[in-house]
Amino acid sequence: MIILLVEPRSSRYIHINQETNKIHLMVPIVGGQEISTDNTCKATVELKGFFDGEALNTLNAYKNALEIDILLLEDGNPQRVMKQDRLAQIEIYIEAVKAMQYSYGKEVGKLLARPSNLYSIQLRPFEQDIQSTVINPTFNIERGNDDEGNPLSQLYNIMYRMFPNITVAINAPRTILTNVVLHALPKSPTFEDIQRVLGEQSLALFGLSIDFTKRTDTTLITKESIDTLMGFEDDATPQDYIDALLGACALDVWGSIPTPPFYSIPTATPVDERTERLSILTQFFLANLNVYCKAKGMSTQNFGVILDKDRALSQGLVDVVSQGLSAGNDVERAICNFFNANAELFELSSPLNSEDINTIKQKFARAYQTITATKENPHMDDFMILDMDATREFAKFATHQGCICVNFAEIVDPAVPNQNYFAGIRTDFAKHTAEIPHKNEWIASEIDIEPEILINRINNDQFVLLPESVKEDCYRIYPMFQIRQWLHDVAKGKQDEAEARLTASPANTQVFLRTPGVFTDYSGRTFHCTAYEYAYWAKDTHMCRMLERYMDEETKSQMLAHIDEMEHVDAAGKKIGLEYQQHGETHHSAHFELTPLIEALQYYINNHSNWLDTYDYDVIDNAWLAIGKAQRDVPAHVAQEYCRPGSFDPGSAFNEETLIRILTFYNSKTHREESWFPLESSDYGLGFQFILIRQRWEMTNGQGPGFLGGLAVLSGLPTDLASLIRLDQIRTSELSQLREHLIPPASNLASMGI
């Protein structure tokens, strides 16, 4: 029998070296990859979440998975040996993370203060975020003001004085390329010079490799062929030939080329906003330039500090930016040339060559596009930039699962036990790549084991985690495992299947009915009780009546005692009910209550109009999805009432002799039938993208509930609400009738005075 092993191939924070079996716990310092996408108030979200419990949750879940897999594997199995080794490592990490939960900041701060491949930068936007804090910035400009509130930064003041008066030239990529080529051509260029420089600058500016010696149809281009085609004579200018070559070799590429960042500001942008954006662009490019020079060992200086100390130098830089924008030139290249011209002041050990400049421009463009791609985080105060090319002792940081991370062994507190282990982890991680693989694909995913051996190795809790196909094999061998499946059928509203199992062997029917077991319903509630107790708790009266039909008097007496215990009021004035676990918490209740779903519907209906009047669309969306989250929690029979034909008709008595047990609805987005349960995901689908409305869909489709996502309207909700209230009232009233049916005949006669 083939069984899928539980140890995950992809687990948050965890990377395993296949060659050494060493586990590396990756600590997220900040969201992002080459550059942080979280900053200021969000800068510590990932790190805080790691130490606030998410890492321990992941480690404990991984530990549980390994323990199950180890039980499945026989002694001496190589996989078992490796998993036991990983389990021991996981336990070391659990101990260390617990020890550092409240002291991690000190060790992280020490690491950030040391030289590495992660560089902090701090800009000065017009509206500063007071929460912006940077350790050891590679680039920053003065953010303070004098006593009168005037900025102290020389660079900032000059930018704000000059940028409002700039007239930015046409920023079409083709125009920019033409201007740059004209500037780069030698004096009295030949036709071949023009072809060569066009190719070089197309690659440098836009990353486009274009062969200007051939047409788009691959025929060779010569000066004579262009002269003949265009009718050029001796007075043709270099720009004439540039235009002709662009038309012949690159006619269709311009629409897909992104506009360079400095020219990305719309022409209709108000002057004050344009000034701020140009200021941020200039600072951000300088920061990227600074990081590049420091990473390459070309300068150890903070360029922002140097510029703020030298008014003339700042003026010269802003002049270069202003003149470049006015002329439509390559601003980034002009800034780099300015630094080469002032290499001594910036302490550059060598000039920036063409390859350096092209790399800096590409990194800047990627980073700027990343931080401005969404409006989720509007702050432009501080960022972290990762040098993906760093090696050896400086390459402390890497990317993993969408975050810039550091190996836990690099920040482990020296007082934590197992320091030799963490030293070995640092050695093992020394040759890591810049991007750590998101998955550990090599981990074995399955084993072949006989059912008898499996059953003897695992307990009830572990059995629940096995794949359904494996469980079925076990049921055929041991009746107790059949009871387990039967209980799951009852909890999931599979009445026909439950009845078939119950009656398959009449000699075992009362055993099935009386035997409690551990099972989990569709909403993740885990019970340890009999089938009838669960159905009574869930108010699934259809299931209760089916079970009752097969009970002998002794079984009825036992069930009566069970439900009387559930209804018994304790000293605190609460019904004892049933105990169950859900989402890691223990609960007690006498019955499932539809109250959360009813209240969510009522809240939405009562407030929808007011929210629309005040444009509170986020509130509408949240209240809307709250209905879906409550729908995730209903027992199967409530979902089946939603889904069966005609159930929510006005005035429905919900008294059908047989409940049609279907869970499908029509998804208008995917244009197919889908199932309410099992839930698609713990954080996706119902309650996260959409809710289900019975009445609204029935008016147009005639059957079943319908999918509705996004901004919602009221149509159908009042009818659904009224139907749910009526369903709850009817099912609750039926519980007392069910109890009467369990009372033995003699007791019935005595109660009637006969």
Nearest alpha-carbon partner for 696 in 673, 728, 718, 667: 718
Cα–Cα separations (whole angstroms), residue 179 to 193, 324, 330, 334, 700: 15, 10, 8, 13, 61
Residue 41 CB contacts under 8 Å (≥ 6 apart), including other chains: 129, 131, 379
pLDDT of 217 reads 79
pLDDT of 461 reads 54
Please report which confidence band the pLDDT of residue 448 belongs to, taking 50, 70 and 90 as the band edges: confident
Please report which confidence band the pLDDT of residue 698 belongs to, taking 50, 70 and 90 as the band edges: very low
102 pLDDT more than 80: yes
Encode pLDDT of 74-101 as tens digits: 888 899 999 999 999 999 999 999 999 8
d(CA 669, CA 686): 13
pLDDT of 256 reads 67
Nearest alpha-carbon partner for 406 in 137, 22, 44, 117: 117
Are the CB atoms for 584 and 535 separated by under 8 Å? no
Residue 297 CB contacts under 8 Å (≥ 6 apart), including other chains: 349
704 pLDDT more than 50: no
Of 47-61, 85-99, 453-467, 479-493, the one with minimum mean pLDDT is 453-467
Encode pLDDT of 106-158 as tens digits: 999 898 888 899 999 999 999 998 888 888 899 999 999 999 999 999 999 99
Task: Check residues 708 and 674 and name the one with the higher pLDDT.
Answer: 674
Phi, psi (deg, nearest 5) at residue 463: -60, -40
557 φψ region: left (φ > 0), alpha (ψ -120 to 50), beta (else) = alpha
Pairing between β-strand 578-582 and β-strand 585-589 as defined by DSSP bridges: antiparallel
Helix (H) or strand (E) holding 492: none
pLDDT of 752 reads 40
Nearest alpha-carbon partner for 668 in 706, 713, 705: 706
Are the CB atoms for 381 and 374 separated by under 8 Å? no
The answer to pTM > 0.75 is no
Q: Residue 324: exposed, middle, or buried by beta-carbon count in 10 A (0-12, 13-18, 19+)? A: buried
Tokens of 582: 């859900």
Please report which confidence band the pLDDT of residue 465 belongs to, taking 50, 70 and 90 as the band edges: low
Pairing between β-strand 118-122 and β-strand 137-140 as defined by DSSP bridges: parallel
Which of helix, strand or coil describes residue 68?
helix
Cα–Cα separations (whole angstroms), residue 438 to 50, 396, 402, 676: 17, 18, 9, 31
Query: Helices (DSSP H) in 440-521: which residue ranges?
Result: 451-457, 460-464, 468-475, 479-491, 495-504, 509-514
Place of tokens 């029998």: 1
Listed by start position, the domains of the chain span: 2-115+404-428, 118-166+266-386, 173-258, 478-589, 595-739
Tokens of 323: 């003149």
pLDDT of 229 reads 86
d(CA 140, CA 155): 11
Cα dihedral across residues 462, 465, 470, 476: positive or negative: positive
Compute how many other C-beta atoms are within 10 angstroms of the C-beta atom of residue 687.
20
Cα–Cα separations (whole angstroms), residue 50 to 19, 59, 408, 451: 27, 11, 11, 39
Average pLDDT value over all residues in the chain: 88
Length of the chain: 754
Encode pLDDT of 191-206 as tens digits: 999 999 999 988 887 7
Phi, psi (deg, nearest 5) at residue 150: -85, 140
Which of helix, strand or coil describes residue 527?
strand
pLDDT of 375 reads 66
Buried-exposed string 115-149: b where 16+ CB fall within 10 A, e elsewhere: ebbbbbbbbbbeebeeebebeebbbbbbbeeeeee
